[in-house]
Amino acid sequence: MSDDDKGLFQNTRHLVRMAGIFAAGIVAFVGMRMLLVPEGFGRYGHYRAPAIGDNMKKPISYAGRDACAECHADVVEARKASKHVGIGCEACHGALALHTSDPAKSKAVKPKAAQLCPACHEQNVARPKWFKQVNGAEHSGGEACDSCHAPHAPEL
């Protein structure tokens, strides 16, 4: 071996060090992936079947329309004639299971009509023509929707 060839591999500690760092990085990546990726992830594409069991373990937070009707029969009657009859109470008032189990402990959310109504009724070209839409600034003149419309039966 000539003197030139000897110097080429004379100092290889930096290569060994880099290979060790690279190997440690791969081990760390694989280890973190094993810890952080949930069971069943990727088995059926983006659908994760074990998530159903995970969700079933969570406490129920929605009560359903019938639970509200036990105390609020007047509201149920008012809504029967409304176009909003198909919309459940919790669509506007949030999850109500805690409220229905102990009304004194938890109050239902009273939404602000100025924020809630436009979510569905502000003019939007993507909505069908038959769906009631308004230009909020022109229609209300700055007044809240519930100053003219009853929230549970909003037709005039």
Per residue in 72-84, pLDDT (tens digit) is: 989 888 888 888 8
For the chain, give every domain's residue range: 3-57, 62-110, 111-156
Give strand pairing partners of 42.
45
Q: What's this model's pTM, rounded to 2 decimal places? A: 0.58
Per residue in 40-58, pLDDT (tens digit) is: 888 888 888 888 888 899 8
